[in-house]
Structure 1
Amino acid sequence: MEKLERELMLLSRHQVLARRERDPERLERSAYLLLSRIDTQGPMSIGQLAEAFGLDTSTVNRQTAALLRCGLAERVADPDGGMARKLRITVEGGRRLAGDREVNQSCLARVVAGWTPEEVRELEDVLVRLNRSAEALEGRYWPRVEEGITPTACQEPTPQESAAL
């Protein structure tokens, strides 16, 4: 377990350094994670985001307030008719998220450039298994596109949402 812990620590270190050194305009880690979750799942309330991440509502409130100030997310009426307002990614938020994903994927492609496609798939499979095991222990699952969830960033408001705004 010592080697696994060390390698995971180093992996997260490389990601953090790549974020800061490449472009100061890149999304903060919390913004990237929040926008990614909303993108995958659709509009979410602050309470839903807090539950999804296992964080205190006040923490998520501060993080989402920053998204709102920067124009990366907007408040919308609950598409399901609930009372709580939900957060949805704006066109700008979707653009920034897509840009960061593109940079991340490009960096990863350089890292594994000498690997075979089979080796890349093997790493993907092992990481999915590791993440799903961690999610099972926490009781909080991250929805995945390959499970039939369609990303929802930058959707235009429905007529009902437009009327509620």
Structure 2
Amino acid sequence: MTNAHGQKPYPDRDLVDIEYELTLLSRYHALAQRAELHLDRSAYLLLGRLELQQPMSLKELSCAFGLDISTINRQIGALRRQGLVERVEDPDGGLARKVRPTESGLAQLRADREHSTAGVAKVVRNWTPESRRALGDLLRHLNQSVEELEGRTWPRPAPDDHV
């Protein structure tokens, strides 16, 4: 059996639906927020990681993000020039200097997060608390499955850090 284009359909319709909805979600997320935010995507992700696990070396960041160290070095260099991160001595006495967010970096991260959260709140404003919680649980489960496949876990804020 083939579709209108002469191709065999994917055998699992649920997987096709999930992939399609994730594609739309990433499109909507990108369109809805970036123009109003202070930080670009890489700065937001780096500062978000450093907020939960700091300080980190460039090598640790490279491993955490699965990116080449030269890419991380370039991104951290841009954040340093903007005053969003600073290099510090390794608190454990190691030779490598580490990176941590500045107060300005954390303030911009939190402002952008507040804006993004307000956008999500508009979308789910008519949802029940149970539906909102269920979506959060399913997204966490999806992300943790990706992390398991990659062999890299991502820290998450403690429940009381959200309020």
Which ranges of structure 1 fall in alignment gaps of 5 or more residues? 152-165
Q: Which residue number corresponds to residue 155 of structure 1?
A: none
Which residue is equivalent to 2:26?
Answer: 12
State the AA in 2 paired with 1:10.
L
Alignment partner, residue 132 of structure 2? 120
Counterpart mapping for 1:32-47 below 5 A: 32-47=44-59
Q: Among residues 98, 104, 109, which one is paired with 2:110 in the alignment?
A: 98
Q: What SS class does the counterpart of residue 91 from structure 2 fall into?
A: coil
| Sequence identity (%) | 53
Q: Which is worse superposed, 6-15 or 116-125?
A: 6-15
Letter in 2 for 1:99: A
- In structure 2, distance between residues paired with 1:27 and 1:36: 11
Q: What is the one-letter code of the residue matched to 1:97? A: L
| SS at 2:83 equivalent | coil
Shift of 1:9: 1.3
- 1:1-150 paired onto structure 2 within 5 Å: 1-23=15-37, 26-146=38-158
Aligned partners of 1:61, 1:109: CA distance in 2, in Å?
35
Partners of 1:147 and 1:79 lie apart in 2 by 27
Aligned partners of 2:87, 2:36: CA distance in 1, in Å?
31
How far, CA to CA, are the matches of 2:109 and 2:80 in structure 1?
A: 14
Match of 2:10 in 1: none
Give the superposed CA RMSD: 1.7
Which structure ranks higher in relative contact order (CA pairs < 8 Å, sequence separation ≥ 6)?
A: 1
1:119-158 Cα deviation digits (max 9, x unpaired): 000001101110101000000000112389x79xxxxxxx
SS at match of 1:145: coil
Q: More displaced, 13-22 or 60-69? A: 13-22
Cα shift at 1:42: 1.2
TM (normalized to structure 1)?
0.85
Based on CA coordinates, which of the two structures has the bigger radius of gyration?
2
Q: 1:94 and 1:102 mapped to 2: Cα distance?
A: 12
Rounded Cα–Cα distance in structure 2 between residues aligned with 1:61 and 1:33? 14
Distance 1:49 1:131 in 2: 18
Structure 2 unaligned residues grouped into runs of 5+? 1-14
Instruction: Compute the TM-score of the two structures, normalised by the length of structure 2.
Output: 0.86
- SS class of match (2:117): helix
